[in-house]
Amino acid sequence: MIYAFDEFELDLARAELRRAGQLCAIEPQVFALIALLVEHRDRLVSRDEILDRVWDGRVVSDSALTSRIKSARRVLGDDGKAQRFIKTVHGKGLRFVASARVLQARIADAPVSAGPAEAAPETPPPASGSRPSIAVLPFRQLGDTGDWQSIADGLPHELITELSRLRWLFVVARGSSFRLRGDDIDLGEVGRLLGVQYCLSGSVEVSRGRLAVTAELAHTAAGDVVWAERYSGAVHDVHAMREQICASILGHLEIQIPLHEASMARLKVSENLDAWSAYHLGLQHIYRFNRSDNAAAADYFGRAVAQDPGFARAHAGLSFVHFQNAFMGQTSDLGAEVARARDCAQRGVDLDPLDPFVNFTMGRTYWLESDLERAHAWLERATSLCPNYAQGLYAKAWTESMAGAAPDAIANLDLSMRLSPLDPLYYAMLSARGLTHITLGQDQEAADWADRGARAPGAHVLIAMIAAVACHLAGQDGRARAWVEDVRRRMPQVTSDDFFRSFPIRDPVQRRRMDAALAELGFRLPA
C-alpha cells in the first residue's frame, strides 16, 4: 500500500518514506510509528497500541516513545507545537491529522480473474537504494506428479516463509506471487507487476520413484540467470529432501544475491553509489582480512551510513571492520577498536534487533574480550532468528570449540558447510573443524582439516597458524614448518600471545598443549 499526503509518499511494501520523490532517511521504528498512524488516521491510536505494534509489546520507557514521536515529527517537518501531521491527545494517544489518500493498493488486494497477470495493477520498479527484493513463484509441474503435486506449491511457500527471515531481503507475499502461474512467465513482467529485482522459479518432476526439483534465480530487469541448481532423490524421502532443498536454496541466495548486487554496483560511477550499493561493495572487501581491503570496506560502509543513518546492516558492517582490526592485531589500541566494534553493533541492534547479521556482529565483539558465554548467547540469537544462517552457525561453532563443547561445534560446522559451500568464510569453517579435533585430542584429524582450511581461498595468516599447530601436534613436521614459513612471510612479528588473544581457548589442558606447540614452532616471545 502507498499513501500520499502533503509532499510525502509512504510506501508500506518497501518500508520507504519519500518526499518529493526523494528517499528520506528514517529509522525502522519511526517508520513503523508513522505507518501505524497513517493506516488508522480515522481514529485515535492509544499509547498501548503503539507499544504493542511498534515495540512488539516490549516494556520501554516513556522517553523512548517520546524520542520516536519527535523523530517522526522531525522527518515530516513537523513539531510538537504545530502538530500539522501528528497530534498528541494528552493522556490518551496520537492521531494523524493531515489529509492522506491511497495512491496504490497491493496486487493481492486486486480481484482475481481468469487472466491474473493482466488483472493485476502495475507496481512501480524498486527505488534506487532500496534493499534487494524477490518474488518466489509456484513451481511448475512437469508431467504427472500424481500424489506429489502439492510439492509444487508447498516448497515455494516454505521458501517464502524462510526467506522472510532474512531482514536484508524484501520478499513478496505468497498471495501476490502465486497469482503468476504458467510455463512461459516473462521475467520482465514479473518485475513490472510485483516491483522486484529477483525472481525464484523452478519445476517439480516425479518419474519412476524419483523426485527431481530444479530452482533458478533470475534478475528480472536483465532477464539473466544468476544461479540455478537441480536436486534429485527417492520420492519416499520427500520430507527430508524438502528440508535439504530449502536449506540449500537459502544458503545459495545468501551468497548469490549480494554477489550480484555488488557486481552491478561496480558498474556505477563511484559518486553515484546509493546506500545499498555501497554496502554490498563493502561486503566484497570485508572478508579478505587484510589492511587495504578492510580500509576499503570501512569507506563503503561509512558511505552507506552517511546516506542512510537508519541502515542497520551498514552499522553492523562497520562493527565487522573494527572487529577485524582487533582480531588481526591491525591496531595500536586494541581496547578502542573493541569499543568501536561494540558501539557500531549496538547501533545496529537498536535499529533492527531482529537482523541475524546485526546479532552476529554483536556476538563477535564479546569474543574479542574472551567472554565466550555472552558471545555464544548473541550468536545463538542470530541463528534462532535465521536457522539456516551459515555464518552465524560457523561463528557459534568457534565459540563452542574454544569453550570445550566440541561435539556441538562439529554439528554446527558441518551444517554451515552444507548450507554455504561457496561461503567467503568457508576456509574458516574448515579451520574451526580442525580446532575442534585439537580440543578432542584427535591430532591427525585436526591436521587434515586445518591444512585444508589454510589452503582454501581467502585464508588469512591466523588460519595458517592453526594449521602449523595442528600439523606439529600430529607429528607432521614438514607441513608444520611450511606453515610457519608462510606465517612469518605474511606477519613476521606475530606471537603466541596474539594467537590466544584472537582464539581464547578455554580448556586449560588443550591451551597448554597448543601453547607448547607454538613455543616449539618459535612463536613465543622470550621471557
The dihedral through the CA atoms of 163, 165, 171, 176 has a sign that is: positive
Task: Provide CB contacts within 8 A for 239, sequence distance 6+.
Answer: none
What structural domains and CATH numbers belong to the chain?
Answer: 2-103 (1.10.10.10), 122-253 (3.40.50.10070), 268-387 (1.25.40.10), 411-527 (1.25.40)
Residue 476 in this model has a pLDDT that exceeds 90: yes
Closest of 442, 509, 505 to residue 473, by C-alpha? 442
CA distance 149 to 69: 50
For the entire predicted model, the pTM comes to: 0.66
Strands (E) in 176-294, as ranges, are 198-207, 210-219, 225-234
338 alpha-carbon distance from chain centroid? 22
> Which pLDDT score, from 0 to 100, does residue 272 have?
62
- Give the residue with greater pLDDT, 35 vs 14: 35
d(CA 519, CA 427): 25
Largest CA distance in the chain: 83
Confidence band (pLDDT; 50, 70, 90) for 484?
Answer: very high
302-332, pLDDT tens digit by residue?
999 999 999 999 999 999 999 999 999 999 9
- All cell numbers assigned to 10: 509512504
453-456 long-range CB contacts below 8 Å, 24 or more apart?
453/427, 453/428, 453/429, 454/427, 454/483, 454/486, 456/426, 456/427, 456/430
Q: What is the mean pLDDT of the chain?
A: 86
Spell out the alpha helix ranges (H) of 308-425: 312-327, 334-351, 356-367, 372-385, 390-403, 406-419
Kindly report which listed range (98-102, 127-131, 286-290, 511-515) carries the lowest average pLDDT score: 127-131
What values do phi and psi take at 449, rounded to 5? -65, -45
pLDDT of 108? 36
415 pLDDT more than 50: yes
Cell numbers of 210, please? 524419483
pLDDT in tens, 126-139: 444 467 899 999 99
CA 38-43-44 angle, to 5 degrees, is: 95
Vertex 173 angle, CA 191 and 6, to 5°: 75
Buried b (16+ CB within 10 A) or exposed e, 351-368: bbbebbbbbbbbbbbbbb
Between CA 315 and CA 282 the distance in angstroms is 12
Whether the Cβ atoms of residue 314 and residue 275 lie closer than 8 Å to each other = yes
Q: How confident is the model at residue 376 (pLDDT cuts 50, 70, 90)?
A: very high
Q: What's the mean pLDDT in 360-369?
A: 95
| Model confidence band, residue 114 (pLDDT cutoffs 50, 70, 90) | very low
Q: Provide DSSP, 320-353.
A: HHHHHHHHTT--S-HHHHHHHHHHHHHHHHHH-T
At 80, the pLDDT band (50, 70, 90 cuts) reads confident
The answer, yes or no, to whether residue 121 has pLDDT greater than 50, is: no
pLDDT of 393 above 80? yes
Q: In degrees rounded to 5, what are phi and psi of residue 294?
A: -65, -35
The b-or-e profile of 491-524 (16+ CB within 10 A means b, else e) is: beebebebbbebbbbbbeebbebbbebbeebebe
Q: What is the pLDDT of residues 150-189, one digit of tens each?
A: 788 888 988 988 888 877 888 887 877 887 877 677 888 8
Least reliable range by pLDDT among 71-80, 444-453, 484-493? 71-80
CA distance 279 to 508: 41
Dihedral angle sign, alpha carbons of residues 500, 503, 507, 509 = negative
Share of the chain above pLDDT 70, in %: 91
Residue with cell 532517511: 25
Of 461, 467, 454, 450, residue with least CA distance to 498: 461
Cβ-based neighbour number of residue 93 at 10 Å: 17
